Each structure stands twice: as structure tokens, then as C-alpha cells.
Chains A and B, each alone.
Chain A
Amino acid sequence: MFRFIGIAVAALLATLVASTPTFAQDDSYVLKRIKERGVINVGHREASIPFSYIGPDGKPIGYSIDLCMKIIDKIKEEIQAPDLKIKFVPVTSQTRIPLMANGTIDMECGSTTNNLTRSKQVDYLAVTFITGTQMGVKKNSGINEIEDLNGKAIALSLGTTNEKAVKAVIQEKGLNVKIVMVKDHPQGWLALETGRVDAYATDHVLVYGLISKSKDPSQFKVTGRFLSYDPYGIMVPRNDSTYRLIGNTVLADLMRSGEMVKLYDKWFNPGPTNINMPLSPTLRTAFEIQALPY
């Protein structure tokens, strides 16, 4: 009997010691598996400039990656694993959700739109960026709005929210636009540069990025009204509110302290690729609203 009490007390003490951190980790399957593996698997994109892309030294860098690093620091603290290893797993717009659902990656740091359909399979942290569908066109093409594309051709990237948005508008307005499907952003841009299409539509920030990297940036412009609303978020596995709370706490701290704006400026204003996108009033408000207090 005494022995049993002894064990019970020891167990209670152990629980107390282990639960000293602010978060109860026992109910978090993601934290549990990170701890068991001793590795956190981070999904990243290879060409989502400047969110998540391969830098000059071959390692993933970008705005989303910086944010994820802050979250990982906090996770290290929470599970008391200062030497937690970080493994980067490249993902594409097609593989990111399956890889998250089957447990290969523990967070995705890219340029992923948070929408309700996707939320059936994954969860998202706070909104860290706001964009929408716009078109990249040649300056001398005379195209200003999607209506100007009647009888012309547009390239769309397979499996993106932009594709859905553009197709919906074309159908609604009964426009006669030839749609050329492409595999990814570089191919879409190549189709525009070689004159196969008259416009390439994707998230406006990505169009700015593509223009800044093209041979002759002065030849192109971003045009048209926003055809969709795309709030970006860091993607995390579903049904783990403990794990999600850690991420959202870090993001709220960054937004409250103003460090978020500094990080934003580091990557966008003007940013390493000269993307030159000052913080928009909408995003500034989003940061303010999401800076939840303790």
C-alpha cells in the first residue's frame, strides 16, 4: 500500500514538474511526435519569393521561414529540447496538404492561402499576409482589366486559388478567353515572356516577385482589380489546439511588439529581391487585430 502511494506521489510530482511550462503538452500529438523524433519537419517552398525560397547558399529563406524559426524557438522551450533538429522538406502546391495530412511535415512555411475548404484537412495559424489575384501583363499590351482579355490568352497555374477565381469571372462575364494551363510560376511567366499568352494571373505579390526577377522588369506591369481575397497562413496539422496555440502565441507576440512589421520590411520593403511592397493598410490592421493580449 505504501509502495503504491509512493508511486502515486512520484507520478504526481513528475506530472507537476513536467507541466511547469505554460502549455499542457500531453494532449498534443504533434509535440509528442516531435519530441520522440527529436526532429521537427518543416515544409518549405522552393520558389515562393520572398516567402519561402532557396537562398544563395542552398538553404530555405524568406518571410514565412523567419516566422517559423521564431515558432520553433518557442517549441524548443516548451518541450525542453534545446538541441531539436530542424529538417526542411520541400513541398509544392500539390503535395503540401497530403504531406501534412499523413504526418510527414509538422508545419508548412510557404505561401498558402487559408480557406475554409482546406480547413477540412489542415489548420492554420494567424494570417501573416494578405494578397489577391491580379494579372501580370506586358506594359504595351493595353490590358488593364480582365475584360480586356476578350479574344486573348491567359496562363493559369494548375491547382491554385487564382485558377478558380479567374475561371469563375470569365464564366460569369461570358468572356472568350483562351486558358493555357501551366505547371508552376516560372513556366507561367515564360509563357507570358515568349508571347504564348497575354497575361499571367496569380497572387499579386508573386507577380511583383516574378517581375522583379525578369530580364527586363520595365517591360511588365501588375494590373487589374483583385479577383480574389487570399489571406496567407502557416499551415499546421489538424485537431491539435495545443500546438496551434504555441504558434499563435508567438505570432501574437510579434504583432503586439511591432517586430512583425520589422520582419515584413526586411523581406518586402524593399526586400532582398527589390520587390518594393510597403505594408498595406489592410495588413497593418490585420496585424493589430490579431495581436491578442494575454
Chain B
Amino acid sequence: MQYNWNWGVLLQGPYFEWILSGLGWTIGTAVAAWVIAFSLGSVIGVMRTTNIPVLRAIGTAYVELFRNVPLLVQLFLWYFVFPELLPKVAGHWVKRDLPLPEFSTAVVCLGTYSASRVAEQVRAGIQSIGQGQRYAGLAMGLTPVQVYRYVLLPVAYRIIVPPLTSDFLGIFKNSSLALTIGVLELTAQTRQISEYTFQPFEAFTAATVLYCLITFIVMTAMRIVERRTAIPGMISLEAK
């Protein structure tokens, strides 16, 4: 290989600062998107398990739409097509005056996409509990909302901690697609460094190590959550 290695560029200014700022945007994008994904996903997941046909239909339609369209296409649609569909003034506002337009678009897109995945996990968690507990709750005089709040969801969330971990990790990795609409996150900064210094191998190695580090930290944290919230006898670390 004809290549001049120079690991020093990673520690030089401004490249070191670029990596740090990229890391910040990656974490910011992923965490903000996760907030949307988790809350919206929970609502959609619950809708898919209710007895009300309209809610179920809305939930199913949402999941099918957002889960089946490639994320890259969704990003493009949110960024370039969505503002054109709005009334002229609103569209102009989105394009010009929206604070942090690239970041906000990426967070909304990544959040709504991941919400469809979280919704499926939540649905699976609720359905794995079985109808018996739902009926028992209703028989005790709880309203349907209360059945979800006090009986089904506390158990369902604990069951789905392991698969949710995968989705949480996924959101960090998917956040790299945000560079296609100009969010200068970790991968974008890496590319930027490799174009300024022409030391792509060093820059991408640094990015790889940082992504691994992020996922490792997330995994460890989720392990702890999993252990703390485990229900004895249910699918969890203790059952292994």
C-alpha cells in the first residue's frame, strides 16, 4: 500500500476539535431522536394492542409506513420535499428560519423512524403478557388506561429492555446518515478531516473507535438497567 501514515493529525488543531464536536452532534442527535422514538413509539405500540379498531389501524399504518421506507429516503423527503408541501410562508420558515434546520430535521426523521421499531417492541412486550392480566385488571374495576398504566406497561417495558438496547444502539449508528443533509456529526467530521488532510485511514479509525466506545457505554448502561428492573422468573439476565 502506497500510503504515508500520520496519526499525529488526529491530535492537531483544528482536527481534534472537529472530532469532539462531531462526537457531540452524534450523541445529541441520537439522544434527542431517542426521546421522540421512545415516547411516540410507546403510544403507537399501545394503540396497536387496544380494542379500538381506529386506533389499531392508525398504529398499524404508522408502523408499516415508517418501517418500510428506507431511512435515507425518509431523510431526503423530510429535508427537501416536506417544506415544499407546506404553505409558502411556512415552507420558507422551515427552510430559512428554523433554528438548526439540519439538526432538527435529522432528529425528527430519525425519531419517527425509530418510533416504528420501538412501537413493535412495545406491542410484542404487551402481547407476551397474555390476556389474563388484562381481564383481571378490568374485572377489578380498573379503567383500560389504568390497566395499561399499572398492570401491562410496567411488565412489558421490563421484558423488552434487551431488544430496546439494540434499537438504542441502532439510533447512534443511524445518526451517521444525518451527514447527507449536512449535520456535521462524527462521520461527517471524519470525512471532512480526511478531505482536509488526505489521511482518511487515520480519521476513519478514530471514528470507528469512538462509535465502539459509545455503543459499549450504552450497552453497559442498559445492562445495569436490565439487572435493576428484572422481574424474577421473567426473560432477563437471570434466566440465562
A→B interface (CB under 8 Å): 93-94, 97-98, 101-103, 117-118, 120-121, 153, 158-160, 164, 180-183, 187, 190-191, 194-196, 237-239
Q: Considering the chains assembled together, what is the distance between the CA atoms of A121 and B195 in angstroms?
A: 12
A94–B1 touching, CB < 8 Å: no
B191–A121 touching, CB < 8 Å: no
Does B228 touch A at the CB level, under 8 Å? Answer: no
B195–A94 touching, CB < 8 Å: yes
Which stretch (B29-37, B40-48, B130-138, B176-184) binds chain A? B176-184
A97–B198 touching, CB < 8 Å: yes
A190–B80 touching, CB < 8 Å: yes
A94–B2 touching, CB < 8 Å: no
B95–A181 touching, CB < 8 Å: no
Chain A residues within an 8 Å CB radius of B198: 97, 117-118, 120-121
A121–B180 touching, CB < 8 Å: no
Return the chain A residue nearest B94 by Cβ.
A196
B96–A103 touching, CB < 8 Å: no
Q: How far is the CB of A14 from chain B (nearest CB, A)?
A: 29
Return the chain B residue nearest A92 by Cβ.
B191
Q: Could you list some 15 contacts between A and B, CB below 8 A?
A: A97-B198, A98-B194, A102-B1, A103-B2, A117-B198, A121-B198, A121-B199, A153-B96, A158-B188, A159-B191, A181-B102, A181-B184, A182-B182, A183-B180, A190-B80
A183–B80 touching, CB < 8 Å: no
Interface residues contributed by chain B, number (CB under 8 Å): 28
Give me the 7 closest cross-chain CB pairs, A-B, nearest first.
A159-B195, A181-B182, A101-B3, A196-B95, A183-B180, A238-B2, A98-B200
Chain A residues within an 8 Å CB radius of B200: 94, 97-98, 101
A194–B83 touching, CB < 8 Å: yes
Return the chain B residue nearest A30 by Cβ.
B2
Chain B residues within an 8 Å CB radius of A194: 80, 83-84, 95
Does B192 touch A at the CB level, under 8 Å? Answer: yes
B96–A159 touching, CB < 8 Å: no
Does B92 touch A at the CB level, under 8 Å? Answer: yes
B96–A183 touching, CB < 8 Å: no
Chain A residues within an 8 Å CB radius of B194: 94, 97-98, 159
B192–A158 touching, CB < 8 Å: yes
Chain B residues within an 8 Å CB radius of A181: 102, 182, 184, 188
Q: Considering the chains assembled together, what is the distance between the CA atoms of A191 and B188 in angstroms?
A: 19
A158–B191 touching, CB < 8 Å: yes
A160–B188 touching, CB < 8 Å: no
Chain A residues within an 8 Å CB radius of B201: 98, 101
Q: Considering the chains assembled together, what is the distance between the CA atoms of A159 and B201 in angstroms?
A: 15
Q: How far is the CB of A2 from chain B (nearest CB, A)?
A: 44
Interface residues of B in 185-235 (CB under 8 A from A): 188, 191-192, 194-201
Q: How far is the CB of B51 from chain A (nearest CB, A)?
A: 45
Partner of B196, one of A94, A98, A164: A164
A160–B84 touching, CB < 8 Å: no
Q: Considering the chains assembled together, what is the distance between the CA atoms of A98 and B192 in angstroms?
A: 14
A158–B179 touching, CB < 8 Å: yes
